[in-house]
């Protein structure tokens, strides 16, 4: 039984595990949306939410800033955390992140997930309307543009020589045999 066992070890020693969580939290606050394994995402969620709660503090801002800076080494990310993210979640009493499952990873089958901060939902860009010209060859031909089809259709047909069909093949003989007999005749 797993009584009083609260965290996953993630297959790492303590120092490496803490470094991994710090790196993931820094990337999450910087980009507001990251892709990782499901187990790392589940471990990251409480870690990141505690840091956001520290950034929301009104009293003792300096102490909270120093506590966050002990975990997040990038000054620009700490500034963003206190200036924008802390204010974004100021009225929210917790639950600042969302985990979306993606399914298994192709190489090793590990469950993948997206961790995102609320308010940074994915908004796909609308495809720009294409202003390309006409799509059909008839419309292009009407405008005077020549395409390969219209050029081929405009060429006069070559009349078959004696002993050949319209497709250019000799009657009853293949081209290879015809060439050999021509060479023998010379």
Per-residue model confidence (pLDDT) at position 49:
95
Sign of the alpha-carbon torsion through 39, 41, 46, 48 = positive
> Long-range CB contacts (< 8 A, 24+ apart) of 5-12?
7/43, 8/39, 8/42, 8/43, 10/39, 10/40, 10/43
C-alpha span between 25 and 21 (Å, rounded):
6
**DSSP 8-class letter at 3:** T
Secondary structure (3-state) at 126: coil
Per-residue model confidence (pLDDT) at position 139:
55
C-alpha span between 97 and 101 (Å, rounded):
13
Q: Model pTM?
A: 0.64
Measure Cα distances from 112 to 36, 44, 81, 122, 153 in Å. Answer: 6, 14, 26, 17, 56
**Along the chain (186 residues), what's the average pLDDT of each consecutive run of 10 residues?**
90 95 96 95 96 91 94 95 92 93 95 92 69 57 59 67 63 58 60
C-alpha span between 18 and 132 (Å, rounded):
53
Per-residue model confidence (pLDDT) at position 42:
96
What domains are defined for the chain?
14-117 (3.90.1030.10)
Per-residue model confidence (pLDDT) at position 59:
85
């Amino acid at each position: 039984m797993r009584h009083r066992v609260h965290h996953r070890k993630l297959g790492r020693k303590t120092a490496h595990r803490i470094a991994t969580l710090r790196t993931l939290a820094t990337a999450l606050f910087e980009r507001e949306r990251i892709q990782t394994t499901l187990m790392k995402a589940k471990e990251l969620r409480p870690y990141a939410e505690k840091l956001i709660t520290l950034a929301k503090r009104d009293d003792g801002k300096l102490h909270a800033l120093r506590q966050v800076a002990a975990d997040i080494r990038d000054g620009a990310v700490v500034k963003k955390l206190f200036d924008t993210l802390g204010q974004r979640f100021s009225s929210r009493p917790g639950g600042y992140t969302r985990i979306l499952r993606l399914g298994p990873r192709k190489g090793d089958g590990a469950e993948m997930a997206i961790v995102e901060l609320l308010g940074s939902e994915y908004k796909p860009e609308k495809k720009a309307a294409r202003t390309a010209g006409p799509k059909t060859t008839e419309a292009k031909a009407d405008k005077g543009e020549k395409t390969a089809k219209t050029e081929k259709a405009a060429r006069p047909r070559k009349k078959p020589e004696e002993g050949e069909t319209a497709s250019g093949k000799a009657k009853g003989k293949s081209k290879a045999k015809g060439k050999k007999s021509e060479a023998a005749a010379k």
